[in-house]
């Protein structure tokens, strides 16, 4: 099977999975921009997620990797934020199915300064660094019950960057 090649995330290509904010570009209409003497600032016009979220950090490996399992959150959105390096997010559409299917997996590169907020029930793997093991931040409401990781239907799917050879 053909690997999934990660592509840069944009508001348009990620719309079925959630929202993208660009806090580095000074132009996102969903961000309020301010500046002062020697600094520029931006913050989301609306709260990042519904409810009072918890902030966490995951230390992920690096691309490429076999996406073997995914989770989803029926009761909370989840925001993902880069710490310093680009990260790769593998997702599958929100569904009521017991597991995501390998043929529906897509992958996106989230650059520093970008934030993605996944809709409830969007299947996703833990992020990996685009070029090396990379930590990243996440925000979601925790303690809402189990969030089981389930095997991807149809077997693993390789997630990779553009410049990697397929195997």
Mean per-residue pLDDT of the chain = 93
Q: Maximum distance among all alpha carbons in the chain?
A: 55
**What's CA 118's distance to the chain center, in Å?**
7
pLDDT reported for residue 162? 82
Q: Which domains does the chain have, with CATH numbers?
A: 4-160 (2.60.120.480)
pLDDT reported for residue 25? 81
pLDDT reported for residue 148? 83
- Which one, of 120, 104, 71, 110, lies nearest residue 87 by Cα? 110
CA distance 88 to 91: 10
Q: pLDDT band at 83, cuts 50/70/90?
A: confident
Encode pLDDT of 129-163 as tens digits. Answer: 999 999 999 999 988 776 689 999 999 999 999 85
- Strands 134-140 and 78-82, by their bridges, are antiparallel
CA distance 133 to 146: 27
pTM, full prediction = 0.93
Share of the chain above pLDDT 90, in %: 83
Peptide linkage before 93 cis (omega within 30 of 0): no
pLDDT reported for residue 5? 96
Q: pLDDT band at 165, cuts 50/70/90?
A: low
CA distance 11 to 19: 6
Q: What is the CA radius of gyration of the chain?
A: 16
């Amino acid at each position: 099977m053909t690997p999934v090649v990660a592509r840069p995330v944009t508001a348009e290509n990620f719309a079925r999975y959630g929202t993208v904010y660009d806090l580095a570009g000074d132009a996102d209409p969903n961000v309020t921009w301010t500046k002062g003497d020697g600094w520029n600032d931006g913050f989301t016009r609306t709260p990042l997620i519904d409810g009072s979220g918890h902030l966490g950090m995951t230390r992920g490996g690096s691309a490429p990797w076999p996406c073997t399992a995914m989770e989803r959150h029926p009761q909370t959105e989840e925001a993902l934020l880069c710490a310093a390096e680009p990260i790769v997010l593998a997702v599958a559409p929100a569904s009521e199915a017991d597991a995501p299917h390998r043929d529906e997996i897509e992958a996106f590169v989230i650059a520093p300064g970008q934030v993605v907020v996944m809709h409830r029930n969007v299947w996703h793997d833990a992020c990996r660094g685009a070029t090396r093991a990379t930590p990243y931040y996440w925000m979601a409401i925790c303690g809402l019950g189990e969030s089981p990781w389930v095997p991807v239907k149809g077997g693993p799917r390789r997630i990779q960057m553009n410049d990697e050879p397929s195997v």
